[in-house]
Amino acid sequence: MAINFIRSAAVYLIVGTLLGIYMASSHAFEQRDTHAHANLLGWVSLAISGIIYQVFPKLADHILAKIHFWLHNLGLPLTLVGIALIYGGNPPIGEPLAGIGSSVVSLGFLALLFNVFRSDISSSAHEV
């Protein structure tokens, strides 16, 4: 499970990086919020989640880890498209997409929260 999070994180790293390069080269920074969300919710959050699941394999083996993964990876593209539409001049379509997507991502984070607090994970940590 951990590797799935890290692979997804790497995809969002490229998305955020390419968007940043585009903005810098075009001197058009309207999509800076999309860029920030791709990097923070995509690259950073997914990579940290992958590390958590690697270090605590009991968490990775639970159904909540799979729920977290799928909710995050279904909600984040909706969020990014919604934000891009908002700052691209189409808020009537972008706002509901961003709202739905961010709500789905938040449900994924709640799955992580429940997973972390559901049992004693200290005995399951790998030595790093």
Amino acid found at 38 = A
- Closest to 124 measured CA to CA, from 65, 66, 53, 49: 53
Alpha carbons 17 and 75: distance in angstroms, whole number: 20
pLDDT tens-digit series, residues 84-95: 999 999 999 999
Q: For the chain, what percent of residues have pLDDT higher than 90?
A: 90
DSSP H or E segment with residue 111: helix 91-117
pLDDT tens by residue, 20-69:
999 999 999 999 999 999 999 999 999 999 999 999 999 999 999 999 99
